[in-house]
């Protein structure tokens, strides 16, 4: 039959929904308009080509879609009857049904994203043997590994908008529940092996609830709570296609995408698709690490591209394997494993002062002239604060710094209460002289340092004549210029500083008099 006649026949079959061979099909009344927007499907495939090992793969040059569409022999198109027959022949315990939504996803793989799919087919040789072996250990259907194609397009660093991470798209809470380590340095959701063990346990638990693998896949995607609600709203029906419209939108597209992925993995040669030759070693070895190790130490000593090491060990978020805390594994190309063992002393020592400088683990504050310590070789004295005292006076009387007084007595700012006992450290040879200060009057203390006995707060009241245009306010303990200004309408903190020649709003003392302009 000529190619164009075959193509027209296929179109007619699609339009009429002529499903042959009597194969059971899913309900075909779901509008096509709801198909692709239900799943972040194409973007998963698109993200794949940006990965290092895909960009560096030695795959055959792929033709652009625009060139392929004009050549029917390169992109074959099949009627629905062919898809129905082929899906019916796939050995699977998962109930695979066909409808137009499934066909739409098949078209995404075989037409719109051919190059992406060929890269992903290359990755299946790297991942699927490991995944299937793990699923066999847990007694799970091995075809469930095709879920990873829909979940993440086999991208271990995939992160969904909701925060689901890794090839198996674990949320944080579910990952922790199934024993995955997630912290600033390690995210085992991105570890292909450990996350697959966790996924197998989760799928087994879900099957114990539903005993239906299609519902298990749906629950894996949207959570068992959403599936239970959908079943209840659908009148306790247990068939996926009966509860379809009661599920979250993304999950509605998830099952058709899985069926399409299963079809593709069994029939990609019929669509002239060829697995890409991905630049990742199929034979690998795992070595346990008991010390902190940086991937760049391994890369530079063994001459391995560090990006390859990252792709083999995607669980290490910052290239650091914190082996000192727990024994952890590093995955290497098999041909380098013996070299690692032979050279491990050199590897751990290589630039260790750069990557793991022990001195940087202990921080000692830098000293300066403003750093205070409790003095050694000094005599400790006590001074009881009197009314009108402030730290500036006391520091001058004892010939120490006000900042020292604050440090010794854990004082913030300059506020001290009358009656508080302050610790003062003085030279032992002058200790007897300083002991007397506590019992002296203010005048005596000022004379001892050659200062006037008139307090600064008294100067304004005694030397400046009263001005009837101002109000005079005596500052109390705890007052601030801002709080004082609020008591007088139209007065600001700036006004008080300007009128009273104050350069710093914090440099006011209890007992000090300040002028406030009267409201006109």
Distance CA 338, CA 287 (A): 10
Three-state SS for 74-123 is: CCCCCCHHHHHHHHHHCCCCCCCCCCHHHHHHHHHHHHHCHHHHHHHHHH
Confidence at residue 73, expressed as pLDDT on a 0 to 100 scale: 55
Choice between 40 and 127, residue whose per-residue pLDDT is larger: 127
List of residues 6+ apart from 420 with CB closer than 8 A: 384, 385
Q: Do domains 3-271 and 456-517 have the same CATH topology?
A: no
Biggest alpha carbon–alpha carbon distance for the chain: 122
Q: What would the pLDDT profile of 327-380 be if each residue is shown by its tens digit?
A: 899 999 999 999 999 898 889 888 888 888 655 555 555 554 445 566 778 899
The model's pTM:
0.62
- The correct CATH number of 379-448 out of 3.40.50.300, 3.10.350.10, 3.30.70.890, 3.10.20.30 is 3.10.350.10
**Count of CB atoms within 10 A of residue 82's CB?**
17
Do residues 134 and 196 make contact, with C-beta atoms less than 8 angstroms apart? yes
Distance CA 260, CA 237 (A): 24
Could you tell me which residues are beta bridge partners of residue 330?
287
Query: Per the structure block, which two tokens stand in for 516?
Result: 């406030």
Distance CA 337, CA 330 (A): 10
Residue 29's pLDDT band, with cuts at 50, 70 and 90, is: very low
Residue 125's pLDDT band, with cuts at 50, 70 and 90, is: confident
The rounded percent of the chain whose pLDDT value lies above 70 is 78
Sorted by where each begins, the domain ranges of the chain are 3-271, 284-361, 379-448, 456-517
Instruction: Specify the CATH number of the domain 3-271.
Output: 1.10.530.10
On whether the 456-517 domain is CATH 3.10.350.10, my answer is: yes
Do residues 382 and 421 make contact, with C-beta atoms less than 8 angstroms apart? yes
List of residues 6+ apart from 315 with CB closer than 8 A: 186, 187, 188, 189, 190, 191, 194
Distance CA 478, CA 506 (A): 11
Mean pLDDT estimate for the chain: 80
Q: What is the mean pLDDT of residues 397-410?
A: 86
What one-character-per-residue DSSP string does 143-179 give? GGGGHHHHHHTT-TT-B-TT--BTTTTB-HHHHHHTT
Distance CA 12, CA 32 (A): 17
Distance CA 431, CA 230 (A): 85
Choose from 4-8, 284-288, 351-355 the range with maximum mean pLDDT: 284-288
Q: If 0-12 CB within 10 Å is exposed, 13-18 middle and 19+ buried, where does residue 132 land?
A: middle
Q: 195 vs 158, 171, 327, CA distance in Å?
A: 13, 11, 18
Do residues 231 and 165 make contact, with C-beta atoms less than 8 angstroms apart? no
């Amino acid at each position: 039959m000529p190619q164009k006649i075959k193509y027209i026949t296929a179109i007619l079959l699609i339009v009429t929904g002529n499903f042959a061979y009597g194969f059971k099909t899913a309900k075909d009344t779901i509008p096509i308009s709801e198909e692709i927007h239900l799943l972040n499907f194409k973007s998963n495939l698109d993200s794949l080509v940006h990965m290092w090992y895909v960009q560096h793969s030695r795959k055959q040059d792929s033709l652009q879609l625009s060139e392929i569409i004009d050549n029917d022999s390169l992109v074959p198109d099949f009627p629905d009857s062919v898809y129905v027959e082929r899906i019916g022949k796939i050995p699977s315990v998962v109930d695979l049904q066909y409808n137009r939504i499934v066909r739409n996803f098949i078209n995404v793989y075989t037409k719109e994203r051919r190059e992406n799919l060929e890269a992903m087919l290359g990755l299946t040789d790297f991942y699927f043997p490991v995944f299937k072996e793990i699923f066999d250990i847990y007694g799970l259907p091995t075809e469930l590994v095709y879920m990873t194609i829909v979940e993440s397009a086999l991208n271990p660093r995939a992160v969904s908008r909701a925060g689901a991470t890794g090839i198996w798209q674990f949320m944080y809470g579910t990952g922790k529940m199934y024993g995955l380590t997630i912290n600033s340095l390690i995210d085992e959701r991105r570890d292909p092996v450990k996350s697959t063990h966790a996924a197998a346990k989760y799928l087994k638990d879900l099957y114990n609830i539903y005993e239906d693998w299609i519902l298990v896949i749906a629950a894996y995607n949207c959570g068992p709570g959403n599936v239970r609600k959908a079943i209840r709203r659908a009148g306790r029906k247990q068939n996926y296609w009966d509860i379809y419209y009661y599920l979250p939108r993304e999950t509605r597209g998830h099952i058709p995408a899985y069926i399409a992925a299963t079809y593709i993995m069994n029939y990609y040669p019929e669509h002239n698709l060829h697995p890409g030759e991905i630049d990742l070693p199929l034979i690998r070895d795992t070595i346990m690490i008991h010390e902190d190790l940086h991937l760049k130490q391994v890369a530079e000593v063994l001459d391995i591209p560090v990006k390859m090491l990252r792709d083999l060990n995607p669980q290490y978020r910052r290239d650091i394997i914190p082996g000192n805390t727990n024994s952890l594994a590093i995955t290497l190309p098999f041909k380098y494993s013996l070299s690692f063992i032979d050279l491990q002393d050199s590897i751990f020592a290589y630039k260790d002062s750069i990557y793991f400088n022990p001195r940087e683990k202990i921080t000692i504050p830098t000293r300066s002239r403003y750093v205070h310590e409790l003095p050694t070789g000094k005599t400790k004295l006590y001074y009881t604060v009197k009314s009108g005292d402030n730290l500036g006076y006391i520091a001058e009387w004892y010939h120490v710094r006000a900042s020292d007084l604050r440090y010794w007595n854990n004082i913030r700012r300059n506020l001290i209460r009358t009656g508080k006992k302050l610790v003062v450290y003085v030279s032992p040879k002058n200790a007897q002289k300083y002991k007397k200060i506590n019992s002296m009057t203010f005048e005596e203390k000022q004379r001892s340092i050659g200062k006037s006995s008139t307090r600064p707060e008294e100067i304004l009241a005694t030397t400046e004549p009263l001005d009837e245009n101002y109000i005079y306010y005596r500052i109390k303990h705890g007052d601030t210029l801002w709080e004082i200004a609020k008591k007088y309408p139209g007065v600001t903190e700036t006004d008080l500083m300007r009128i009273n020649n104050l350069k710093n709003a914090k440099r006011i003392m209890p007992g000090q008099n300040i002028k406030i302009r009267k409201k006109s």
